[in-house]
Structure 1
Amino acid sequence: MIINPGELADVEQQVSAARYTQLGISTLPGAYDAAHLLMFHRKLFADVYDWAGTTRTVNIAKDGHPFCLAPNIDSELDALFAGLANDQYLLHLDRKAFVSRLAELYGDMNAIHPFREGNGRAQRAFLRQLAAGAGWTLWWDNLDRDANNGACHRYRHHFDPEEMAALLDPLILRRGNQV
């Protein structure tokens, strides 16, 4: 058991980075629903946290601004992924519509923040695979971390996907193209 916070952060980063790379090479079967997102989290963090792949049971906030209340996480995830299913998992969308809908999905997933730790990495792995299935390549490696944090913060307060879409737009290419 690791009790040193610095050591835990190092181990978490190393393990999740290796798992994230693996998830980029092969797909994680699932229905692009809440259970599938939980599987991504479990795959990334099972070697670090015994609670990996389970939703949080405590309320959390960042910079004094709360995320979704813990008792509401399951119903919020169910509603989010029902919308994704109704949108046919973003298949057959033109680029503008795909970027816009992906921005909303990413912003909403982040606002729900279902896990105690590792939300961003689980979301990015999930959305990278979703994008690939819809015929797009999502190059998260080119994401500006500070711009991402700012866009996520503002999305949580205004639920306006425009800034998020502008952030994601240069990261998205039709499958087969390169950045």
Structure 2
Amino acid sequence: MTVDPYVDPASGVLRNRLCIADAQRLCEVDAGLTRAALADLDTRILPGGYDLAHLRCFHREIFGDLYPWAGDIRVVGIARSDPFCLPQHIEAYSADVFDALAKERYLRGLSRDRFIDRLTHYFAEVNAIHPFREGNGRTQRAFFRQLGREAGWFIDWSSLDPDSNAHASKASLRGDNGPLRTLLDSLLSF
């Protein structure tokens, strides 16, 4: 059995700055702190190059008050219904994805349909990387919301249906980006 360095062995709860040992309480505190951090990020631009380092900055901004490992690339394998990128491949895979995003000028100047197509592609790729132990979805959404805003589009995550999101994520991990494209299309405005 592999030891998860992010989990306190005594409580089985993610290690955190507040020494919370109850999973339900940690979930509640996590939700409150991250809600505030995400609201703050909606009011400003977090500088960076839309690369892995920038994604790490988003994670640190969102989760840094709670988790000492916020912004760190995970060192353990994780999975939901399907496994995410193995930790030893995260940096190389991320470099390929973010280099391609840069070559596409961070999706600026695209028609709505083309923007959704490319956003879907990159969202699926970053989701497959899943570079953090916890908080990948919230980090991705903040990252791509800012990228979209700088490309002239508004992504309204407030109307995101959790079940549709989970379905789209699972489908994209299996190579079907259709549900994810439909989901993102429903959240996008000019």
Common fold: TM-score over 0.5 = yes
Letter in 2 for 1:168: L
Deviation at 1:161, TM superposition (A): 2.4
Deviation at 1:139, TM superposition (A): 0.4
Deviation at 1:58, TM superposition (A): 0.2
- The answer to whether structure 1 residue 104 and structure 2 residue 136 are counterparts is no
Letter in 2 for 1:43: E
Between the two proteins, the alignment pairs up a number of residues equal to: 172
Equivalence for 1:168: 184
Equivalence for 1:177: none
Letter in 2 for 1:156: L
Aligned partner (choices 84, 87, 98) of residue 81 of structure 1: 98
Alpha-carbon displacement from aligned partner over 1:107-161 (angstroms, at most 9, x marks no partner): 1111111111000000000000000000000101111110111111111011x32
Equivalence for 1:127: 144
TM-score by length of 1: 0.94
CA contact (8 A) 1:100 1:162 kept: no
Structure 1 moving runs of 4+ over 6 Å:
none
Q: How many angstroms apart in 1 are the aligned matches of 2:120 and 2:24?
A: 32
Q: How many angstroms apart in 2 are the aligned matches of 1:148 and 1:164?
A: 8
Letter in 2 for 1:47: D
Structure 2 gap ranges (5+): 1-18
Equivalence for 1:24: 42
Equivalence for 1:69: 86
Q: Secondary structure at the match of 2:68?
A: coil
Equivalence for 1:153: 170
Q: Which has the larger radius of gyration?
A: 2
- The answer to whether structure 1 residue 2 and structure 2 residue 20 are counterparts is yes
Structure 1 gap ranges (5+): 175-179
Q: How many angstroms apart in 2 are the aligned matches of 1:97 and 1:82?
A: 19
- Of Structure 1 and Structure 2, the greater helix share is in 1
Letter in 2 for 1:173: S
CA contact (8 A) 2:93 2:129 kept: yes
Identity %: 43
Q: How many angstroms apart in 2 are the aligned matches of 1:164 and 1:100?
A: 10
Alpha-carbon displacement from aligned partner over 1:15-60 (angstroms, at most 9, x marks no partner): 0110000000111011111100000000000011000001100001
CA contact (8 A) 1:103 1:161 kept: yes
TM-score by length of 2: 0.89
Equivalence for 2:155: 138
Q: How many angstroms apart in 1 are the aligned matches of 2:77 and 2:60?
A: 20
